[in-house]
Amino acid sequence: MKCVSEMIYLDNNATTMPLPKVVEAMAANLRDGYANPSSVHQFGQSVRHSIECAREQVASLIGAKPREIVFTSGGTESINLAIRGALALHPERRRIVTTSVEHSAVLRLVENLEGEGYTVERVGVDSQGRIDESHWSKALTDDTALATMIHANNETGVVFDVARLADVAVKCGAVVHVDAVQSVGKIPIDVSKAAAQLVSLSAHKFHGPKGIGALYVRRRTRITPLIVGGNQESLLRGGTEHVAGIVGMGVAAEAARCDEVCVDIGRLRDAFEEGVLAAVPFAHVNGCDAQRICNTSNIGFEGISAEAILILLSEAGICASAGAACSSGSLEPSHVLTAMGIDERIAHGAIRFSLSRFTTRQEIERVVETLPKLLARLTVLS
Ligand code: PLP
């Protein structure tokens, strides 16, 4: 394996590099701030103060009030807490509306809920990954307990107009949850201006640490906890807090405001796609006509296996991901690309390149130069 500094890391939708100041703040907390934040002594209370500062930083990133932020172990837990927590308080309603392009955290959970007797309506998307808004509106009936949707798609980067979709759902009396794990820090989010009551976030997607996330719970929205124990997190998540993670998430949140950085990343992504399309005639950018987050490029290389491309990319020190899930040794096309109706030959060769603020123009140029050579080797083989 190449050493980290020699690698070109284009897998930022999987996870991002923690900012140096995040690492420093966490190290300082682990070293000097180890008291239990529930302890009444001054040392404990100073650690409590660090948590509350981080809560303000996270709240401010999404236009929330600090008391509306509940820290969790990450995006997946936030999603489970939001969905199960909201459903538990509406036992008379047994219908869930979601989309066909959710992350597995929502996908698997609603499959389980289906097994528990809920009816689940999955609203489809068009060939660009845009949601069918008229289906969404029709799917939301008066017996809908919960509507849950992804904000920015983790595979294609396609963005849904969650404010509009949430409005429709709230009018039907449904509780609305938004999976904003991939959109935070890439597009501005202001929960105070939207109707969604529950929004999931995860720190490691915006240069914070892994294993820490948050759920925004709008004031007066009632949910039940998944984890009961102590009185932490306003009784919504028992257990001694992961203080270093919370502190790191706060620092990352403060640095994650969408600004010129996103514009620069978007320019690099566009240059990357132009370069690849010019050099590879059988390349297709999935979702290119839809609104997308700035950093994501999902490219299908028709007739070539994504697994083979990834192996050669990895040997060349380039980290990317397949737009497909590996199941029992064979690469199944991803459910997202399948829902978009992407041709199987393109979907099987889909690679997700995801950039970050640390991606440089030189790196993009190197990938644009290297990729066609790797693909040429594979086309000769096939
Ligand atoms: N939702 C989306 C859209 C994601 O991309 C991810 C992670 O890839 C998750 C949820 C789960 O987040 P976590 O890894 O923090 O559990």
Q: For residue 260, what pLDDT is reported?
A: 85
- Give the mean pLDDT of the chain: 95
DSSP state of 91: T
Q: Whose CA is nearest to atom 8 of ligand 1?
A: 14
Question: What is the mean predicted confidence (pLDDT) over 120-146?
Answer: 97
Q: Which atom of ligand 1 is nearest to the CA of 152?
A: 3
Gap between the Cα atoms of 226 and 179, Å rounded: 18
The torsion defined by the Cα of 158, 132, 176 and 119, in degrees rounded to 10, comes to -120
User: What are the catalytic residues?
Assistant: 326
Superfamily assignment of 4-18+260-381 in CATH? Aspartate Aminotransferase, domain 1 (3.90.1150.10)
- % of the chain surpassing 90 pLDDT: 93
Alpha-helical (H) ranges within the chain are 20-32, 42-62, 75-87, 104-115, 133-139, 162-171, 243-255, 260-279, 306-315, 335-339, 344-347, 361-381
The strand pairing partners of 325, in sequence order, are 332
Q: What is the DSSP string of 370-381?
A: HHHHHHHHHHHH
Phi then psi for residue 246, to 5 deg, are -65, -45
Q: Residue 117: pLDDT band by 50, 70, 90 thresholds?
A: very high
Q: Which atom of ligand 1 is nearest to the CA of 15?
A: 8
Which two three-digit tokens encode residue 173?
A: 């009396």
State pTM to two decimals.
0.97
Q: For residue 6, what pLDDT is reported?
A: 86
Candidate of 72, 79, 181, 199 to mutate for ligand 1, largest count of ligand atoms within 8 Å of Cβ: 181
Distance from Cα 181 to the centre of ligand 1, integer Å: 6
Candidate of 101, 202, 226, 293 to mutate for ligand 1, largest count of ligand atoms within 8 Å of Cβ: 202
Q: Whose CA is nearest to atom 14 of ligand 1?
A: 75
Which two three-digit tokens encode residue 255?
A: 């640095």
**Strand pairing class (119-123; 324-327):** unpaired
Q: Which residues line ligand 1 (CB under 6 A)?
A: 74-76, 103, 105, 150, 154, 179, 181-182, 202, 213
Asked if pLDDT for residue 86 goes beyond 50, the answer is: yes
The strand pairing partners of 9, in sequence order, are 319
Q: For residue 330, what pLDDT is reported?
A: 57
Find out whether 174 and 198 touch, Cβ atoms under 8 Å.
Answer: no
Q: Residue 13: left if φ>0, alpha if ψ -120 to 50, beta else—which one?
A: alpha
- Helix (H) / strand (E) element for 41: namely none
User: What would the pLDDT profile of 235-265 be if each residue is shown by its tens digit?
Assistant: 999 999 999 999 999 999 999 987 889 999 9
Distance from Cα 51 to the centre of ligand 1, integer Å: 23
The strand pairing partners of 150, in sequence order, are 179
Asked if pLDDT for residue 197 goes beyond 90, the answer is: yes
Distance from Cα 43 to the centre of ligand 1, integer Å: 34
Q: Residue 324: pLDDT band by 50, 70, 90 thresholds?
A: low
Distance from Cα 250 to the centre of ligand 1, integer Å: 18
Q: Whose CA is nearest to atom 12 of ligand 1?
A: 75
The dotted CATH code for 20-257 is: 3.40.640.10
Distance from Cα 61 to the centre of ligand 1, integer Å: 18
Candidate of 11, 103, 148, 184 to mutate for ligand 1, largest count of ligand atoms within 8 Å of Cβ: 103
Candidate of 76, 160, 226 to mutate for ligand 1, largest count of ligand atoms within 8 Å of Cβ: 76
Gap between the Cα atoms of 222 and 175, Å rounded: 10
Residue 15's identity, in one-letter code, is T
Contacts of 8 (CB under 8 A, 6+ apart): 317, 318, 319, 363, 366, 367
Q: Residue 102: pLDDT band by 50, 70, 90 thresholds?
A: very high
Q: What is the DSSP string of 198-224?
A: EEEEEGGGGTS-SS-EEEEE-TT----
The strand pairing partners of 98, in sequence order, are 122
Find out whether 356 and 295 touch, Cβ atoms under 8 Å.
Answer: yes
Asked if pLDDT for residue 33 goes beyond 50, the answer is: yes
Find out whether 188 and 157 touch, Cβ atoms under 8 Å.
Answer: no
Find out whether 186 and 258 touch, Cβ atoms under 8 Å.
Answer: yes
DSSP reduced 3-state for 72: strand
Is residue 34 exposed (0-12), middle (13-18) or buried (19+ Cβ within 10 Å)?
exposed
Distance from Cα 46 to the centre of ligand 1, integer Å: 31
Phi then psi for residue 153, to 5 deg, are -70, 135
Q: For residue 382, what pLDDT is reported?
A: 63
Distance from Cα 73 to the centre of ligand 1, integer Å: 11
Distance from Cα 40 to the centre of ligand 1, integer Å: 35
Domain borders along the chain are: 4-18+260-381, 20-257
Question: What is the mean predicted confidence (pLDDT) over 25-46?
Answer: 98
Q: Whose CA is nearest to atom 13 of ligand 1?
A: 75
Q: Whose CA is nearest to atom 10 of ligand 1?
A: 75
Q: Residue 327: pLDDT band by 50, 70, 90 thresholds?
A: very low
Q: Which atom of ligand 1 is nearest to the CA of 105?
A: 10
Q: For residue 331, what pLDDT is reported?
A: 66
Helices and strands, counts by H and E, the chain: 12, 15
Name the nearest CA neighbour of 58 among 176, 163, 199, 161.
199
Q: Which atom of ligand 1 is nearest to the CA of 78?
A: 16
Q: Whose CA is nearest to atom 9 of ligand 1?
A: 75
Gap between the Cα atoms of 274 and 272, Å rounded: 6
Q: For residue 42, what pLDDT is reported?
A: 98
